[in-house]
């Protein structure tokens, strides 16, 4: 799709839509953390409004999906959707390691040949990053993450 749109306004509206959806699901999350979800939503709202204002004050039109492969955009989006659907079953940690590894391998195929040796380097990096965020959220911010059949 090479259609030109005001990407600032479009991004701002999508941000407001996602924040609205987030607020509707907030009642299920509020018991986990007192202030974090509300602050995150407020920040998303603010950034979305700033994008819309920028798009109105200094309008510019850019092609959508000008660079890259539309198929990669779609497959990556489907993988992220599957990640969210599998998370309650496998838990945050296991599902995130699994799907982020799949996404890294899939997207790397566009630039390089994927070998077992490269995968053996990438997957531990993914595990280290997921572990880092898991510890930050659960131990320091006291935000419980979805637990599944493993942990």
Q: What is the pLDDT of residue 21?
A: 76
pTM: 0.64
Please choose, from the candidates 31, 145, 56, 36, the residue with its C-alpha nearest in 3D space to the C-alpha of residue 97: 145
> Interior CA angle at 46 toward 40 and 51, to 5°?
125
Condensed to tens digits (0 to 9), the pLDDT of residues 100-150 reads 999 999 999 888 899 999 999 999 999 999 999 999 988 887 778 888 887
Contacts of 88 (CB under 8 A, 6+ apart): 146, 148
- Token digits of residue 119: 């995968």
């Amino acid at each position: 799709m090479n259609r030109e749109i005001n990407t600032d306004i479009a991004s701002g509206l999508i941000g407001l839509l996602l924040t609205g959806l987030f607020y509707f699901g907030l009642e299920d999350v509020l018991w986990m953390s007192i202030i974090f979800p509300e602050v995150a939503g407020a920040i998303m709202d603010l950034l979305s409004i700033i994008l819309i204002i920028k798009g109105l004050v200094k309008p510019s039109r850019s092609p959508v999906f000008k660079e890259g492969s539309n198929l990669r955009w779609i497959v990556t989006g489907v993988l992220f959707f599957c990640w969210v659907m599998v998370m309650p079953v496998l838990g945050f940690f296991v599902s995130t390691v699994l799907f982020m590894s799949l996404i890294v391998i899939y997207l790397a195929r566009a630039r390089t040949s994927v070998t077992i040796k490269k995968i053996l380097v990438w997957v531990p990096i993914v595990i280290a990053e997921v572990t880092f965020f898991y510890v930050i959220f659960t131990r320091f911010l006291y935000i419980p993450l979805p637990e599944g059949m493993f942990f």
